[in-house]
Amino acid sequence: MIELNQIVKRYKTKKQDVLAVDHVDLSIQSGSIFGVIGFSGAGKSTLVRLFNNLEQPTSGDVTIDGDNIGQLSKKDLRKKRQKVSMIFQHFNLLWSRTVLNNITFPLEIAGVPKQEAKQRAAELVELVGLKGREDAYPSELSGGQKQRVGIARALANEPTVLLCDEATSALDPQTTDEILDLLLKIKEQRNLTIVIITHEMHVIRRICDEVAVMENGSVIEQGSVTNVFENPKHEVTKRFVKEDLNDDFEDAFADIEHFGKDDYIVRLNFTGNNTTEPIVSYITRAHQIDVNILEANIKNTKSGSIGFLVLHLPNINSEKFEDFNSDLAKQQVSVEVLRHD
């Protein structure tokens, strides 16, 4: 369990004080994957560095597995950092060391016997899919391979918590998905708690259980990934969700030449099994409603599918629309009216 209680981080400069993290409370369950998302300058990277005391909070407490990080001695903090490991956007590899020697480096610092360190590193090389590349140098590796080395190195001391600071931001989309799949596999095999810092909602959607959205140092929205995607409340969250779902239904409105007073434009939101149901044919059959599809998308999350349909429903009186709305609600499909004159 990770607990952040009223965390504040201020930076003082000659010209001004910067409030990077503003009274943040978080509770992260052991064995979960927790995402923190925000645009540049939101405070998310500062926040993650407070987890292992790379940055010291101005006030507030960080507690990991019962240990208050700010109250540990220097010796105990060094030991704790071995169990709260970190991977970075730009890999931070030692360019003069091979893949295997990069992975053994933290084991050398921890005083692990050389033969044991080599054996553990060899096992990690295989785990992250780099078998046969043990003697390669970072300059000989692709971006995805470098990050695999970074992950293996972070796992060397068998941590319980893995912090990922924009770990996929420097990678192409296909490689990003490969790294996310690897993190999922490692999490299941090793029962890790993973905290992911990102500005990409795709990353959150693909592997996270819960998400916190940050803006100006504060957490402005928090909840399960499914709930946040279904019902984003803050404008920043809505923007992230819209961009990830390619939700540009406003553009489709312009294509409707004639919009009558009894016409509706609605958005249907789906989750789980109902994303695979033939909802359009059901609407036309059960309610005798004509349907014009303006926009649609379905995406996969760790816990299931989410999706939406934007429909133009012409010539419906209010009573018929209420029957339609009530029926879909019973099937756990929410209806949002986007336009009705």
- The residue that leads in pLDDT, 208 or 292, is 208
Answer yes or no: is pLDDT of 249 > 60. Answer: no
For residue 26 the two structure tokens come to: 């978080």
Look at residue 256 and tell me whether its pLDDT is greater than 90: no
- Segment among 75-84, 90-99, 312-321 with least mean pLDDT: 312-321
> What is the C-alpha to C-alpha distance for residues 41 and 150, in angstroms, rounded to an integer?
25
Mean of the pLDDT values across residues 216-225?
A: 94
pLDDT band (50, 70, 90) for residue 33: very high
Coil vs helix vs strand at 209: coil
CA distance 250 to 187: 39
State percent of the chain over pLDDT 90. 55
pLDDT value at residue 298 = 76
Q: What is the pLDDT of residues 320-334, one digit of tens each?
A: 888 888 888 887 788
Point out which residues pair with 215 in neighbouring strands: 218
Q: Is a pLDDT exceeding 70 seen at residue 248?
A: no
At 255, the pLDDT band (50, 70, 90 cuts) reads: low
- Residue 105 to residues 131, 194, 285, Cα–Cα distance (Å): 18, 22, 66
Mean pLDDT, the chain, integer = 88
The rounded radius of gyration (Å) of the Cα atoms in the chain is 24
> Domain coordinates of the chain in residue numbers?
2-241, 246-339
pLDDT-derived band at 228, boundaries 50, 70, 90 = confident
Which CATH code is given to the segment(s) 246-339? 3.30.70.260
**Which is more confidently placed, 139 or 309?**
139
The least confident of 62-66, 159-163, 211-215, 265-269 is 265-269
Stated pTM of the model:
0.82
Q: Which class is domain 2-241?
A: alpha beta
Q: How many CA atoms lie within 13 A of 273 on its CB side?
A: 2
Q: Is the pLDDT of residue 189 over 60?
A: yes
pLDDT for 29 equals 94
User: Do the beta carbons of residue 198 and residue 204 sit within 8 Å?
Assistant: yes
- What pLDDT shows up at residue 257? 61
- Asked if pLDDT for residue 261 goes beyond 90, the answer is no
Same fold, 2-241 and 246-339: no
Beta-strand relationship, 264-271 and 334-339: antiparallel
For tokens 């409030």, the residue is 19
pLDDT in tens, 120-141: 999 999 999 999 999 999 999 9
Q: How confident is the model at residue 244 (pLDDT cuts 50, 70, 90)?
A: confident
Q: What are the pLDDT digits (tens) for 280-304?
A: 888 888 888 888 888 877 777 776 6
Write the DSSP symbol of residue 335.
E
Distance CA 50, CA 7 (A): 9
d(CA 12, CA 69): 23
131 vs 249: which has the higher pLDDT: 131
Q: Is the pLDDT at 191 greater than 80, yes or no?
A: yes
